[in-house]
Amino acid sequence: MRSPRFIKNRQFFAGLLCCASLLASAQQKDLVAYANTLQGTNSEFALSYGNTYPTTALPFSMHAWSAQTGKNGDGWKYQYKATTIRGFQQVHQCSPWVGDYAVFSLMPVAGELKVNEEERAAAFSHDDEIARPDYYKVTFANKVTTEISTTERGAHLRFSFPAKTPAYIVLDGYNALSGVKIFPKERKITGYVTNGRFIPKGFRNYFVIVFDQPFEASGTWENVNNTISAGNLSAEANGAGAYIRFRNGAKVQARVASSYISAEQAEITWQRELGSHTKLEQTKAAANRIWNTLFGRVLVEGGSEKDKATFYSCLFRANLFSHQFFEYNSKGEPYYFSPYDGKVHNGYMYTDNGFWDTFRAQFPLNTILHPTMQGRYMQALLDAQQQCGWFPAWSFPGETGGMLGNHAISLLTDAWVKGIRTFDPKQALDAYFHEAMNKGPWGGANGRAGWKEYYQLGYVSFPESHGSTSQTLEYAYDDFCGYQLAKQTSNEFYQYVFGRSMYNYKNQYDSITGFMRGRKLDGSWLENFDPYEWGGPYTEGNAWHWQWSVFHDVQGLIDLMGGETRFIEKMDSVFSVPNKVNVGYYKQMIHEMTEMVNADMGQYAHGNQPVQHMIYLYNYAGQPWKAQAHARKIMSKLYNAGENGYPGDEDQGQMSSWYVMSALGFYSVCPGTDQYVIGSPLFPKVTVTMENGNKFVVEARNNSPENVYIQSATLNGRPWPHNWLRHADIVNGGVLTLEMGNKPATGRGIMQADRPFSLSRP
């Protein structure tokens, strides 16, 4: 007979064991299951809900994989409304507007051999589809199943055919010169593809594919005329491909690796990343561990399951671009084929990113989560500049010069002020000086369109340069970043050079209309001003949107606009005026216009970059509670984890990073400073674990969909009335505790010391 005390002790220890088990279970929770890679895929030319595809990839991997519903060469490679899939592609595409490169695809074909992309397409339903970061699976109406998991430079696929059904796998060489070789005894295909718009001379993507089942027959084909050459073991032509026949009802695994350097390097990579994975489950488990580790570093607690799904779906997208463009040789040393000079170099290189989109939030998020990678990236920027003569602005994989601004300097300065100092600041400033004083041969962000007028007049004139007002505003911010890096490194020459022009934003402001406006060469304002008119002096927006792009000197903007009262009134008006559109210089509705109208938030156009930071400017003008309310409303109204998940183009992680940072409770209004501006966290608790193990906790007590307003705050136990956090406050670890309520705390965060950095504030 046991004593009551023993029984109580046993119950106590049983309780402890239960708690420990629950804790272990919570720690081992598959966070990856929250992330839906179909988020944002219900998109088309006229309307974007993200313009994404169901990416299966590792964080920042060199290659990703996706199901393909669109025709070869179609920028919309996967559309949610489609009913057939025609292949499974190696992909890199960061925007449908620029297409893709280094693409080839594999497609299982059951029954009669069909190689034509239209004829081989198989019907499917989303009910029979699993789309996760670490694993994609679909079962077609013909009962053929495809599964995919990936490594950084490769993929592991499995094709399962119904019993007794003839089983083929077709390799499609896409839309440019390609070559294939078939090795039946080794159950292997090797080859290369050369497709892509922004590739250097001699570019090739070499691939090796090893199957685990013997070939019963094989041959080559080409997709221009869809001519089949049965029994042929090699081919080289535009769209050259291959096909393999396996035993009826086969279950076939294919392990794929690719290299931009050589066929030999593709083999090295295959052995390094896939050689030990004989089963798809091994590759899937490894990918799952990587994503769960990353997701566990940004652990949210409380809140709804719906919000968690949106959060981790966005966190997934925030960690895809830029893609690695380097490989590891047989000694494990990094090297790369340069997309800029076509030569092989030692070290690291990254690509597939448009900085006009991503300097705002995606790269600042990287400084928190991935400082080692960010340090490598900064040196890679300087290496790229040496190889092609210009900083990348939109690389894909070479420089396209897309959009506007010279935001490589934003990335470099932001890294430097946050302690990531892996590069020579003098070299960076020299390169930026060249960028700012010249116009390159490519797009508007390759050097500076209108640079002479910008320095001679203090603004870019219209119609000499379309997007002139937008250019002036972003050049002024970039010049601030150049000034800031020079100041941080005691470079007096560049402090003087860029210190003179970082206030040029003032020259675009018209005090009569109260808007940033286009100006002519003679200094006069552009006639027939309409703040609802898109285009002309504004890039992808209108005067309502471009009013706020003075990231570095919000106080100066407040002063220009006549003080805080008028500033707040104009900000409030963005949401209260009609959501109407004057198509202006575009002559027709473009998708960004439609997305703003659909958002139904006045002229607030969150679907595009220029206005995404705007709500946080309330913190600079004594009404931080409005930033808190708007942040929560935008997260709730404009984002979800489904196929209509975004209010516009996702844009290489920027749209997702806005959500992730805002859900954490802060945002990077002015990269190039060490401050983040506080909003309203979405979850009751979030723990961010740094690379070095430090933990930063945001605890929002009494948080709920109604309690969006910060009542009081402490940072590491000290009262914190400020509307900003320093980078060091986060990465050194600590606890930000917020008391939340359902009414604005109008007396909190209104002092001058509580306001974030502005150049014009003493």
For residue 412, give the nearest of 404, 396, 423 by alpha carbon. Answer: 423
Token representation of residue 481: 């970043």
Average pLDDT value for residue range 286-292? 98
Question: Of all residues in the chain, what percent carry a pLDDT higher than 70?
Answer: 96
Condensed to tens digits (0 to 9), the pLDDT of residues 232-268 reads: 999 999 999 999 999 999 999 999 999 999 999 999 9
With a cut of 90, say whether residue 27 has pLDDT above it: no
Residue 64's φ and ψ, nearest 5 degrees, are -130, 170
Average pLDDT over residues 489-516: 98
Gap between the Cα atoms of 740 and 721, Å rounded: 14
3-state DSSP call for residue 407?
coil
The per-residue pLDDT for 683 is 98
For residue 461, pLDDT beyond 70: yes
What's the CA gap between 154 and 209, in Å, rounded? 10
Most distant CA pair in the chain, distance? 102
d(CA 362, CA 94): 14
Q: Per-residue pLDDT averaged across 46-60, rounded?
A: 98
The pair of three-digit structure tokens given for residue 313, joined into one six-digit string: 């779906």
Residue 587's Cβ-count burial label (10 Å; 0-12, 13-18, 19+) is exposed
pLDDT, residue 619, reads 98
pLDDT (average), residues 695-715? 98
Looking at the predicted structure, is the pLDDT value of residue 4 above 70? no
Residue 644 has pLDDT above 80, yes or no: yes
Neighbours of 565 (CB within 10 A): 12
pLDDT band at 29 (very low <50, low <70, confident <90, very high): confident
pTM recorded for the entire structure: 0.95
pLDDT surpassing 50 at residue 3: no
Mean pLDDT of all residues in the chain? 95
Question: What percentage of the chain exceeds 90 in pLDDT?
Answer: 96
The pLDDT of 538-557, averaged and rounded, is 98
Query: What domains does the chain contain, in order, with CATH numbers?
Result: 36-297 (2.70.98.10), 302-754 (1.20.1610.10)
For the segment 727-742, the average pLDDT, to the nearest whole number, is: 98
String of DSSP letters for 495-546: HHHHHTTTTGGGGGEETTTTEE--B-TTSPBPSS--TTB-STTSSSS-HHHH
Helix (H) / strand (E) element for 181: namely strand 177-183
- 302, two tokens: 């409380």
Provide the pLDDT for residue 241: 98
Distance separating alpha carbons of residues 273 and 31, to the nearest angstrom? 24
Question: Whats the size of the chain, residue-wise?
Answer: 762
Residue 26 clears pLDDT 50, i.e. is over it: no
* Confidence category of residue 16, pLDDT binned at 50, 70, 90: very low
Instruction: State the pLDDT at residue 761.
Output: 86
pLDDT band at 230 (very low <50, low <70, confident <90, very high): very high
pLDDT tens for 73-131 read 999 999 999 999 999 999 999 999 999 999 999 999 999 999 999 999 999 999 999 99
Residue pLDDT, tens place only, 31-44: 999 999 999 999 99
Specify the pLDDT at position 28. Answer: 66
